[in-house]
Amino acid sequence: MTHAPSTYNAPATAFGPRIRKSPFFEATQRYGCKAYSVYNHMYLPLYYDDPVADYWNLINHVTVWDVACQRQVEITGPDASRFVQYLTPRNLSRLSVGQCKYVFVTNEAGGVINDPILLRLGKNQFWLSLADGDILLWAQGVALHSMMNVQIYEPDVSPLQVQGPKSLETMQALVGNWVSELRYYWFQEAKIGHIPVIVSRTGWSSERGYEIFLRDSRFGDELWERVMEAGKEFEIAPGAPSAIRRIEGSMLSYGADMYMVENPFELGLERLVDLDQDADFIGKDALRVIKSKGVSRHICGLEIHARPISLNEQPWPVRADDQPIGHVTSAVHSPRLQKNIALAMLATDYTTLGTKVTVEAPSDNLDAAVVPVPFYDPKKALATSI
């Protein structure tokens, strides 16, 4: 299979003591990471070979990612369950111990300030596995005036992701056959040798995948090498969250596709909001008003008709009928689909499938059309398959 050359050129990153390094950082250096970003005040690997080659490794084989930047916020105490529900509009009344849920954390205006994965470790013990944002400080501030008995802190936990179609075989070699019984969005505590971990059936790739939550940072390098050894026969390679694959799967990226000025209804994720539940949560009144009035803009998919484009570095304006109607949030060329695909926040009148629009990219004005999302595997069969 021939690979299209990458058009992504990352500037150099200077390392220093102000930005935190993960327990896997030395391994990422040893395995040839070529570029880093900063996420939750930590270095996040971007790619090893190049973004396109890493993408093919992900969708054909298996990759391991240092995502320790997904910092955990641990919430414990007698009122932990009530407090966690107060942070999110998603109804958590049926959340079981050992289960994960994708949730929004909303502010008093109904805006999304983070979209973490929530893990319930015990009756009164929860982790928020964060997107890019200071939710530790937010939660501690909310707790200060909540009159609830909770303790909130950052535990010594650092996630690795093992993602791709051969991730199951790799994880079986690493932890045993029990992992094949792990249901989508559930987790189990385990040990890899003497290393304490939690293994979850989650990930940010839209492929089948797992996360390994290291619970003792002293063993970061050893855990990385154990994963690489387990995946050797399955052609494992180091990788990083793939912008190409996550846009194909229409997975929203906090800070790119949404920020605190967006609400769940604009993002098409009203399923994460239960306004009828008895429990109170921050932003409930505002979200009721938003639902009642309806939204004036909505996230949608675009196919951009042009030569292969690079990943956008900033929002691109979108126009139709000679007026601004919104902006592209994330855009990339998909080598598998051989198309330029994008997520865009547009005025609702222009989100009907087939609507023609113009994208004002830095190089040129580009013709585009509204298309269905996700762009690939719309039923998420790859990620959720048994």
Task: Please give the tally of structural domains in the chain.
Answer: 3
Mention every residue, 6+ apart, whose C-beta is less than 8 A from residue 137.
none
Residues 330 and 379 reside in one and the same domain: yes
Residues 66 and 174 reside in one and the same domain: yes
* pLDDT score recorded for residue 13: 72
Cα–chain center distance at 12: 24
Residues 228 and 352 reside in one and the same domain: no
pLDDT-based confidence at 2, cuts 50/70/90? very low
Please report whether residue 64 resides in a domain: yes
Residues 220 and 306 reside in one and the same domain: no
SS3 326: strand
Domain span including residue 326: 296-386
Instruction: Locate 258 and state its tokens.
Output: 């949404």
Give me the residue label for tokens 């299979």: 1
Cβ–Cβ < 8 Å for 116, 75? no
* pLDDT score recorded for residue 386: 79
Provide the β-strand partners of residue 330: 343
Residues 160 and 197 reside in one and the same domain: yes
Residues 186 and 57 reside in one and the same domain: yes
Q: What is the pLDDT of residues 180-227, one digit of tens each?
A: 999 999 999 999 999 999 999 999 999 999 999 999 999 999 999 999
Residues 165 and 238 reside in one and the same domain: yes
Span 311-329, average pLDDT: 97
Element (H, E) at 35: strand 35-39
Please report whether residue 119 resides in a domain: yes
Span 50-79, average pLDDT: 98
Please report whether residue 257 resides in a domain: no
Is the confidence at residue 92, as pLDDT, over 70?
yes
At residue 198, what are phi and psi to the nearest 5 degrees? -120, 135
Q: pTM of the prediction?
A: 0.96
Cβ–Cβ < 8 Å for 341, 302? yes
* Residue 254 one-letter amino acid: Y
Cβ–Cβ < 8 Å for 70, 41? no
Residues 164 and 231 reside in one and the same domain: yes
